[in-house]
């Protein structure tokens, strides 16, 4: 089955002029809570939109990932009342517009982890939000410094991991519905599909085992500049570690889920006082290997999409891409020697 | 400013220090095209030294890294780094015998096309003390460049503004905060092994990410930095959410200087201002006091 | 960004913030064990009346009052905070209140900068023999805070 046949089930392409894009956005704004890239204090972020004119659809990549649409930074998940327990409910449909292919790929990783397509653990709070989420993806025509999505096998021009895809052109855009949910969001002059899906080749991967890299690599050198701020994990589209906290107010105990970061020294602190990862290189090693080794082992996909956010934001200049490249190089050298 | 000459001389000095084995490492900055600005770099061999650079985007405060170094180190330090180092020495966090300061003249750095946070209020282009000097022209003498010093005077602003305006400004900044603690991590003064925000021993210390917690974090941090902030701007430089709360720290520094005559980062022998008292300290904060504190 | 998840039943409202006849501020009072707490005791045994607006927390010394306590009280919605210790020179631990004096001056400037009304935080010296002064101080502080109205953060969760 070719990609074209698969996609055509949900209607033809829509060719929109710039004005039509705006009208269509105006239209969806009436029906949904819309989350889209907006400027906030000179930074582009994904945020809830109230006015169409605030939406910024261009080639810039928002500096934070859209993951908090489905996995909020702070979320009350349940409450303990006097004689019963209540779980949180989500009832509001949300439309995410303008997610770039790298962020769409990241959403797929989160889906894999939280909704357990492979029959693993299913996180009801995540999947509740995910069920109510409609995603309209958008192409990305500009490679920013630190971007390496193509090395991660992601095509910045098109992605199928969404409900509809908006391809920006110099004058207007082309909208392509990909699922039933995205079938009639944008409408314009119809045309036949010509996009061809060409998923690239993943070149930045670690084909190795933990035993081979855990102590043999110069992790201390890689992590020299780390200050342990955790910014990389907070802006990362796939980082998903969280902590649960109970707090009591007026007799009601609320359980809250908040993001956590493996880059904090206290992340692995045990109740007994032991801490298995006290040094910063151990924490950086965890982050790299989690993305490139442990998630691939457990879920079959690499949890780094090459968006480059951590590279651009790290105050210490740590670089996950260069680290993986260096490991690849060292492994190749080692294997050559063995042969 | 002659950045090229400064870079060249810096590389020469660093290479020599490493070659002579006077130091084991030179802490500086290197070009990092992926990140988009020069990032911290530790040169350990004379060949490494060539990678050290000095340009107008070298705004990172390296004092924090110095506390982590083992063995004798040379640090490339501009005036704000030296202020931070002095503060750390006065608090017994650094041993002066363990490092060499390569003082480097600086007329202010730029970040995203604007003066970097803190640079607009910097009083001098010359570091407070140094072992090896690199002047603005790359020579070993200081040029003593005129400083713009256009930074806002927080006390004056506060006296002119209303309570509501001050609260709005504070809340506007707080609301962008995601409590990632990057400001704490980058700060020279925040070296506690166990930060109050990481202690979750008692229920009242519990930290969520609501407004109250953000207020508690930022105000307590400001309180801990009173009389210790060296106005290097590292907190604002690393913030990925664009929270600009340096004015609070600066306002406190101004207050401490005006009330107790103490300035952080000037004298490494001085006892930190909050660790001592005078029997005749002003009663400004107290009921019936003249309340100049209250603005 | 994303809105909080909702629960089926709304949280029960706080009875104390309902339709009350007259609003009384909720003030957290940190009292030094050796002077001000005894002063409060004396006010009580002497049957001196003062507004029932303070919630007393006894501390060993005004120097023990971590600024974090005060900030936390305000951040959690207290209408005001009052700290009272021994007069300068009378500290049971000789110098605790001297350190506290510097700390409070800086804290008060800090709170002003952040837009909390300076009157929300009050520091005083009350000795063990000053029962009448204690009552007067509480009345003055309560009145100052009553004028300001409920805390800007009071609606958050009612401390």
Q: Does any CB of chain C come closer than 8 Å to the CB of residue B154?
A: yes
Q: Does any CB of chain C come closer than 8 Å to the CB of residue A85?
A: no
d(CA A8, CA A40): 37
The pLDDT score that the predictor gives to residue B216 is 86
Higher pLDDT, B41 or B151: B41
What's chain A's average pLDDT?
86
- Chains with 3+ CB–CB pairs under 8 A to C are A, B
**Rounded average pLDDT over B6-11:** 93
Strands B110-111 and B114-115, bridge-based pairing: antiparallel
**Which of C71, C105, C114 minimises the CB distance to B285?**
C105
**Which of A48, A89, A250 minimises the CB distance to C6?**
A89
Q: What sections of A144-279 are H helices per DSSP?
A: 210-213, 219-222, 231-235
Beta carbon pairs, A and B, within 8 Å: 94
**Contact B203/A41, CB-based, under 8 Å?**
no
d(CA B20, CA A272): 47
The pLDDT score that the predictor gives to residue B99 is 94
Q: Is the pLDDT of residue C18 over 50?
A: no
Q: Does any CB of chain A come closer than 8 Å to the CB of residue C5?
A: yes
d(CA B36, CA B57): 9
Q: Is the pLDDT of residue A47 over 70?
A: yes
Taking a contact as any Cβ pair under 8 Å apart, which residues of chain C between 120 and 159 contact chain A?
157-158
Q: Does any CB of chain B come closer than 8 Å to the CB of residue C89?
A: yes
pLDDT band at A60 (very low <50, low <70, confident <90, very high): confident
Q: Is the pLDDT of residue A61 over 50?
A: yes
Q: What is the pLDDT of residues B102-156, one digit of tens each?
A: 999 998 998 888 889 889 889 899 999 899 999 999 889 999 898 888 888 999 9
The pLDDT score that the predictor gives to residue C21 is 61
**Contact C115/B227, CB-based, under 8 Å?**
no
Q: Is the pLDDT of residue B209 over 70?
A: no
**Rounded average pLDDT over B12-27:** 94
Q: What is the pLDDT of residues C81-95, one digit of tens each?
A: 999 999 999 999 999
Alpha carbon distances (Å) from B224 to A56, B242, C65: 40, 22, 14
Which pair of tokens denotes residue C116?
């909390």
Q: How would you class A31 by CB atoms within 10 Å of its CB: exposed for 0-12, middle for 13-18, buried for 19 or more? A: exposed
**Rounded average pLDDT over C106-133:** 92
Q: What is the pLDDT of residues A190-213, one digit of tens each?
A: 776 655 566 678 888 888 888 889
Q: Is the pTM of this model over 0.90?
A: no
pLDDT band at A57 (very low <50, low <70, confident <90, very high): confident
In chain B, what residues touch C112 (CB-CB under 8 Å)? 158, 163, 166, 293-295
On whether the CB atoms of residues B252 and B229 are closer than 8 A, the answer is: yes
Q: ∠A185-A190-A195 over CA atoms, to 5°?
A: 90
Q: Does any CB of chain C come closer than 8 Å to the CB of residue B212?
A: yes
Task: Say if residue B113 is in the same domain as residue B165.
Answer: no
pLDDT band at A318 (very low <50, low <70, confident <90, very high): very high
Task: Say if residue B129 is in the same domain as residue B215.
Answer: no
Task: Say if residue B130 is in the same domain as residue B158.
Answer: no
pLDDT band at C27 (very low <50, low <70, confident <90, very high): very high
d(CA A149, CA A105): 10
In chain A, what residues touch B52 (CB-CB under 8 Å)? none
Q: Does any CB of chain A come closer than 8 Å to the CB of residue C2?
A: yes
**Which of C5, C8, C9 minimises the CB distance to A90?**
C5
* Percentage helix, strand, coil for chain A under 3-state DSSP, each rounded to 5: 30, 20, 45
The pLDDT score that the predictor gives to residue B272 is 92
CB atoms inside a 10 Å sphere around CB C49:
9
Q: Is the pLDDT of residue C19 over 50?
A: no
Q: Which of B285, B195, B205, B243 is nearest to C110 (CA)?
A: B285
On whether the CB atoms of residues A104 and A273 are closer than 8 A, the answer is: no
In chain C, what residues touch A129 (CB-CB under 8 Å)? 2
Percent of chain A at pLDDT > 90 equals 31
Which pair of tokens denotes residue C92?
């049971």
- Residues facing residue C125 across a β-bridge: C85
In chain B, what residues touch A307 (CB-CB under 8 Å)? none
Q: Does any CB of chain A come closer than 8 Å to the CB of residue C49?
A: no
Q: What is the pLDDT of residues C39-63, one digit of tens each?
A: 999 999 999 999 999 999 999 999 9
Q: ∠C11-C13-C15 over CA atoms, to 5°?
A: 150
* Pick among C1, C13, C16, C158 to test the A interface (most A CBs inside 10 A): C1
The pLDDT score that the predictor gives to residue A195 is 55
* E strands present in A69-196: 74-80, 85-87, 94-99, 133-138, 164-169, 172-177, 189-191
Q: Is A75 helix (H, G, I), strand (E, B) or coil?
A: strand
Which pair of tokens denotes residue B37?
């600005």
**Rounded average pLDDT over C66-85:** 90
The pLDDT score that the predictor gives to residue C154 is 60
On whether the CB atoms of residues C126 and C35 are closer than 8 A, the answer is: yes
Taking a contact as any Cβ pair under 8 Å apart, which residues of chain C between 96 and 135 contact chain B?
98-99, 101-119, 122-125
The pLDDT score that the predictor gives to residue B220 is 92
**Contact A250/C14, CB-based, under 8 Å?**
yes
Which pair of tokens denotes residue A111?
């889906």
Can you give the residue range of the structural domain that contains B205? Answer: 154-294
| Residue C62 Cα to chain centre, angstroms | 13
- Chains with 3+ CB–CB pairs under 8 A to A are B, C
CATH of C24-147, one of 3.40.190.10, 3.10.350.10, 3.40.50.960, 1.10.1200.10: 3.40.50.960
Strands A164-169 and A133-138, bridge-based pairing: parallel
- Residues facing residue B160 across a β-bridge: none
Q: Does any CB of chain C come closer than 8 Å to the CB of residue B244?
A: no
Q: Is C154 helix (H, G, I), strand (E, B) or coil?
A: coil
Which pair of tokens denotes residue C65?
């009052």
On whether the CB atoms of residues B216 and C75 are closer than 8 A, the answer is: yes
Quote the longest CA-to-CA distance of chain B.
Answer: 66
In chain B, what residues touch C116 (CB-CB under 8 Å)? 163, 167
Edge-first strand order for the sheet with B132-134 is B39-43, B25-30, B73-77, B99-104, B132-134
Q: Which of C113, C73, C88 is nearest to C32 (CA)?
A: C88
Beta carbon pairs, A and C, within 8 Å: 48
Give the up-direction half-sphere exposure of residue A133: CA atoms within 13 A in the CB hemisphere. 26
On whether the CB atoms of residues A315 and A231 are closer than 8 A, the answer is: yes
Sequential DSSP letters for A237-254: SS---EEEEEEEETTEEE
Q: What is the ipTM of this complex?
A: 0.88
**Which of C3, C5, C157 minimises the CB distance to A89?**
C5
d(CA C125, CA C97): 9
What is the 8-class DSSP label of residue C12?
P
Residues 6+ apart with CB under 8 A from A103: A65, A66, A237, A305, A307
Q: Does any CB of chain B come closer than 8 Å to the CB of residue C77?
A: yes
Q: Which of B176, B170, B168 is nearest to B240 (CA)?
A: B176
d(CA B85, CA B75): 10
H or E element, residue C111: helix C96-113
In chain B, what residues touch C118 (CB-CB under 8 Å)? 291, 293-295
Q: What is the pLDDT of residues A137-156, one digit of tens each?
A: 999 988 888 899 989 999 88
In chain A, what residues touch C75 (CB-CB under 8 Å)? none
Chain B residues at the A interface, defined by Cβ less than 8 Å, are: 30, 32-36, 38-42, 60, 64-65, 176, 178, 180-182, 184-186, 198, 203, 206, 208-210, 237-238, 240-242
pLDDT band at A116 (very low <50, low <70, confident <90, very high): confident
The pLDDT score that the predictor gives to residue B294 is 58
On whether the CB atoms of residues A39 and A54 are closer than 8 A, the answer is: yes
Sequential DSSP letters for B218-265: HHHHHHHTTTT-----HHHHH-SS----HHHHHHHHHHHHHHH---TT
What is the 8-class DSSP label of residue A318?
-
Identify which of A35-49, B64-78, C10-24 has the greatest average pLDDT: B64-78
Q: Is B36 helix (H, G, I), strand (E, B) or coil?
A: coil
Task: Say if residue B115 is in the same domain as residue B166.
Answer: no
Percent of chain B at pLDDT > 90 equals 60
Chain A residues at the B interface, defined by Cβ less than 8 Å, are: 40-43, 63-64, 73-74, 145-146, 224-225, 227-231, 234-235, 245, 247-248, 256, 258, 261, 264-266, 308, 311-317, 319, 321-322
**Which of C1, C7, C158 minimises the CB distance to A79?**
C7
Which pair of tokens denotes residue C141?
């502080």
**Which of A35, A75, A252 minimises the CB distance to C4?**
A75
The pLDDT score that the predictor gives to residue C157 is 43
- Residues facing residue C54 across a β-bridge: C27
**Rounded average pLDDT over B81-92:** 94
Q: Does any CB of chain C come closer than 8 Å to the CB of residue B143?
A: no
**Contact A88/C14, CB-based, under 8 Å?**
no
In chain B, what residues touch A266 (CB-CB under 8 Å)? 198
Q: Is B100 helix (H, G, I), strand (E, B) or coil?
A: strand
On whether the CB atoms of residues A173 and A165 are closer than 8 A, the answer is: no
**Rounded average pLDDT over A119-134:** 86
Residues 6+ apart with CB under 8 A from B98: B69, B72, B73
User: Nearest residue of B to residue A74 by CA position?
Assistant: B209
**Which of B35, B203, B237 minimises the CB distance to A312?**
B35
Range of weakest confidence among A283-297, B81-95, B137-151, B217-231: B137-151
* Alpha-carbon distance A74 to nearest alpha carbon in chain C (angstroms): 8
**Contact B212/C153, CB-based, under 8 Å?**
yes
Q: Is residue B57 part of a domain?
A: yes
The pLDDT score that the predictor gives to residue A2 is 38
């Amino acid at each position: 089955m070719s990609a074209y046949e698969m996609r055509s089930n949900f209607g033809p392409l829509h060719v929109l002029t710039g004005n039509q894009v705006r009208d269509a956005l105006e239209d969806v704004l009436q029906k949904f809570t819309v989350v889209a890239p907006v400027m906030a204090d000179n930074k582009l972020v994904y945020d809830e939109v109230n006015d169409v004119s605030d939406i910024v659809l261009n080639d810039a990549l928002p500096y934070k990932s859209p993951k908090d649409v489905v996995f909020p930074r702070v979320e009350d998940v349940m409450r303990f009342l006097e004689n019963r327990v209540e779980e949180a409910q989500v009832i509001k449909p949300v439309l995410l517009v303008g997610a770039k292919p790298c962020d769409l790929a990241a959403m797929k990783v989160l889906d894999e982890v939280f909704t357990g397509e492979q029959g693993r653990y299913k996180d009801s709070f995540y999947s509740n939000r995910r069920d109510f989420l409609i995603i309209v993806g958008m192409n990305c025509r500009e490679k920013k410094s630190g971007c390496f999505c193509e090395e991660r096998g992601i095509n910045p021009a098109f992605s199928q991991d969404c409900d509809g895809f908006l391809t920006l052109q110099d004058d207007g855009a082309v909208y392509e519905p990909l699922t039933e949910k995205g079938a009639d969001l944008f409408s314009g002059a119809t045309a036949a599909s010509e996009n061809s899906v060409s998923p690239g080749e993943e070149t930045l991967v670690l084909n190795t085992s933990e035993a081979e890299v855990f102590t043999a690599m110069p992790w201390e050198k890689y992590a020299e500049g780390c200050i342990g701020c955790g910014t990389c994990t907070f802006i990362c589209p796939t980082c998903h570690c969280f902590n649960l906290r109970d707090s009591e107010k007026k007799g009601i105990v609320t359980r809250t889920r908040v993001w956590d970061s493996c880059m904090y020294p206290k992340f692995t602190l045990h109740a007994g006082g032991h801490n298995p990862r006290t040094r910063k290189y151990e924490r950086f090693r965890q982050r790299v290997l989690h993305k490139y080794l442990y998630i691939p082992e457990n879920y079959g996909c690499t949890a780094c999409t090459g968006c480059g956010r951590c590279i651009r934001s790290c105050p210490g200049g740590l670089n996950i891409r260069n680290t993986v490249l260096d490991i690849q190089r060292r492994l190749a050298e080692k294997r050559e020697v063995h042969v | 400013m002659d950045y090229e000459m400064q870079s060249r001389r810096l590389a020469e000095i660093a290479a020599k220090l490493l070659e002579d084995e006077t130091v084991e490492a030179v802490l500086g900055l290197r070009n990092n095209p992926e990140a988009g600005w020069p990032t911290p770099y530790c040169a350990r061999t004379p060949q490494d030294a060539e990678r050290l650079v000095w340009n107008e985007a070298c705004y990172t405060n390296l004092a924090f890294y110095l506390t982590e170094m083992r063995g004798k180190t040379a640090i490339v330090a501009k005036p704000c780094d030296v202020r931070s180092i002095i503060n750390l020495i006065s608090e017994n966090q650094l041993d002066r015998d363990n490092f060499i300061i390569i003082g480097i003249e600086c007329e202010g750095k730029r970040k995203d096309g604007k003066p970097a946070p803190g640079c607009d209020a910097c009083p001098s282009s010359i570091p407070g003390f140094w072992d090896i000097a690199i002047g603005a022209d790359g020579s070993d003498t200081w040029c003593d460049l005129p400083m713009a010093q256009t930074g806002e005077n927080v006390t004056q602003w506060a006296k002119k503004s209303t309570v509501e305006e001050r609260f709005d400004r504070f809340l506007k900044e707080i609301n962008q905060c995601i409590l990632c603690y990057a400001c704490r991590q980058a700060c020279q003064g925040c070296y506690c092994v166990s930060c109050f925000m990481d202690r979750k021993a008692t229920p009242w210390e519990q930290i969520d990410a609501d407004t109250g917690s953000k207020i508690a974090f930022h105000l307590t941090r400001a309180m801990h930095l009173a009389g210790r902030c060296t106005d290097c701007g590292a907190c604002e430089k690393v913030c990925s959410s664009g929270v600009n709360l340096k004015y609070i720290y600066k306002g406190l520094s101004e207050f401490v200087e005006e009330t107790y005559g103490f300035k952080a980062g000037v004298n490494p022998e001085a006892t930190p201002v909050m660790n001592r008292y005078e029997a005749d300290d002003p009663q400004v904060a107290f009921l019936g006091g003249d309340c100049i504190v209250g603005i | 960004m994303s809105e909080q998840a909702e629960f089926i039943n709304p949280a029960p409202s706080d009875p104390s913030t309902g339709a009350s006849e007259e609003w009384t501020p909720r003030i957290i009072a940190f009292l030094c064990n050796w002077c001000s707490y005894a002063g409060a005791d004396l006010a009580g045994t002497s049957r001196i009346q003062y507004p029932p607006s303070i919630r007393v927390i006894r501390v060993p010394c005004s120097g023990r009052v971590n600024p974090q306590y005060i900030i936390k009280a305000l951040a959690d919605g207290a209408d005001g905070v009052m700290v009272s210790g021994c007069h300068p020179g009378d500290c049971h631990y000789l110098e605790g209140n001297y350190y506290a004096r510097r700390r409070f001056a800086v804290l008060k400037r800090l709170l002003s900068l952040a837009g909390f009304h300076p009157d929300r935080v009050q520091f005083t010296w009350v000795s063990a023999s000053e029962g009448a002064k204690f009552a007067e101080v509480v009345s003055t502080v309560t009145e100052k805070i009553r004028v300001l109205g409920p805390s800007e953060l009071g609606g958050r969760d009612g401390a």
